Amino acid sequence: MKYRLLAGGSALVMAVALSACSSSSDDAGEGGGRTTVDVWLMRDSVSATFQKEFVEGFEAQHPEIDVRVQIQEWDGIGQKITAALASNDAPDVIEAGNTQVAQFAGSGGLLDLSDRQAELNGEDWLRGLAGPGSYEGKQYGIPYYAANRVVVYRTDLFGKAGIDAASLTTRERWIDATTKLNEGGTQGIYLPGQLWYALAGFVWDEGGDLATESGGTWKGALDTPEALRGMEFYAELQALGKGPKDSDEDDPPQAEVMAQGQVAQVISTPGGANAVIENNPELKGKLGFFPIPGKTAGTPGAVFTGGSDLVVPAAAGHPDEALTFIKELTGDTWQKKLAVAMSYVPNRTTLASSVADDPGASAMAVGAANGHATPNTPGWAAVEAENPIKDYMTAVLTGGDAAKEAAEASADITRAMNSGS
């Protein structure tokens, strides 16, 4: 899943020479017996500083291996990876969006890494990364880093209203606080009508899902009672603000909206706070974060876990060295450093404390414990391309019959998933 830079990072500037995929002429023999591992990482997934530190540290620990990184753009990456997997000249390690792994695994182009889970600390991987990294019972993607949405709020407006954000541990308290914030000229929340990732969280909280599978066939599930309750809560929350009912968080950019007025809350990755401050520097020091509340105080709200997995192409020239690279990058030492450097959620629940001093990342880490992913099937890509969920949300928010609109959207999801499989 593509994510913008989450917090405090600048655009990635490559500090090393880039090259194309692996080539045997660059490996053992020419490098004095050293093997070159070719790695594709995505734009903005790491900073130049972190990349340099990791590569130098890795090569010092493994003097027999050189690392060569090529940064890839998110635009068109699916087709590029598909082509690489079908070739005889694939890189050794590829960073893939967690929701993309099933598509690549379904093509037969990835190595099955199921037998390496134990040595890669698979017992406490975030399920929102590990789940999408598996396909048909086999593990192809190794969790790399995670990100999810939290509530970004104005601390000054909360203080003025006498609201303690730490107390908002249930949906009921969240609704009550947002209602109170609307008094005195404040807009309690800005929630656009088509923020479907937030809707998905509410649906999961109710025990529903976007689609379900039975006997190898996928079916849209927005028309189930559970999913309809999730949409009902979304509509209740959205009505407490003035967000457009027919667009998502990018139209208009919600960070700009929050920067311009008296908006008390938005649902965003923590990086959204940086965008707010860029648009209105006077808000520096006035933004805070808390996990999206759940139905009960003991469980945070369910969230969509975005982020990346690391995969090894079946055509990789150096699979053993690739696994050594992955083991280091996803191990304790470098996961902690990555989380701090990039304000990410580490790939394992037991490492959440490493971001305790980062308010945004620590709020994400709480939510990540209840992280979910979109349906784990190659056919989901066709759903996101059409995205009938957005049209469904707008239809309900503008007065349409929820059950009828949900049935139509579910039928569209069913068609798209099975035609795209």
Answer yes or no: do 228 and 298 share one domain. yes
pLDDT digit string (tens) for 346-372? 999 999 899 999 999 999 999 988 999
Q: Indicate the SS3 state at residue 284.
A: coil
The residues with which 340 forms a beta bridge, in sequence order, are none
pLDDT at position 44 is: 83
Answer yes or no: do 165 and 215 share one domain. yes
Question: Does residue 323 lie in a domain region?
Answer: yes
Answer yes or no: do 99 and 218 share one domain. no
Answer yes or no: do 48 and 118 share one domain. yes
Question: Does residue 15 lie in a domain region?
Answer: no
154: Cβ contacts below 8 Å, ≥ 6 apart:
258, 263, 264, 265, 283, 286, 287, 288
Confidence of residue 189 (pLDDT cuts 50, 70, 90): very high
Question: Does residue 203 lie in a domain region?
Answer: yes
Confidence of residue 391 (pLDDT cuts 50, 70, 90): very high
Give the CATH number for residue 228: 3.40.190.10
Q: Are 287 and 155 in contact (CB under 8 A)?
A: yes
Answer yes or no: do 33 and 70 share one domain. yes
Q: Are 265 and 151 in contact (CB under 8 A)?
A: yes
Answer yes or no: do 390 and 352 share one domain. no
Tell me which of 352, 372, 392 is where a domain ends.
Answer: 372
Answer yes or no: do 52 and 129 share one domain. yes
Answer yes or no: do 124 and 162 share one domain. no
List the structure tokens of 52.
């340099």
Q: Are 201 and 373 in contact (CB under 8 A)?
A: no
Answer yes or no: do 279 and 188 share one domain. yes
**Phi and psi, residue 420, nearest 5°:** -90, 0
pLDDT digit string (tens) for 154-177? 999 999 999 999 999 999 999 999
pLDDT at position 32 is: 59
Cis peptide before 252 (omega within 30 of 0): yes
Question: Does residue 226 lie in a domain region?
Answer: yes
Answer yes or no: do 273 and 327 share one domain. no
Q: Are 375 and 203 in contact (CB under 8 A)?
A: no
Answer yes or no: do 154 and 243 share one domain. yes
Answer yes or no: do 318 and 263 share one domain. no
Mean pLDDT of the 59-74 span: 96
pLDDT digit string (tens) for 264-311? 999 999 988 988 999 999 999 999 999 999 999 989 999 998 899 999
**Res 114 pLDDT > 80:** yes
Q: What's the domain count of the chain? A: 2
Question: Does residue 55 lie in a domain region?
Answer: yes
Tell me which of 333, 354, 372 is where a domain ends.
Answer: 372
In angstroms, rounded to a whole number, what is the distance separating the alpha carbons of residues 377 and 394? 26
Question: Does residue 3 lie in a domain region?
Answer: no
- The number of C-alpha atoms within 13 Å of 125 and in the hemisphere containing its C-beta is 29
Residue among 288, 246, 241 at smallest CA distance from 261 = 241
Instruction: Give me the domain span that covers residue 346.
Output: 24-147+306-372
Q: Are 205 and 367 in contact (CB under 8 A)?
A: no
**Res 329 pLDDT > 50:** yes
**Res 26 pLDDT > 60:** no
Q: Indicate the SS3 state at residue 329.
A: helix
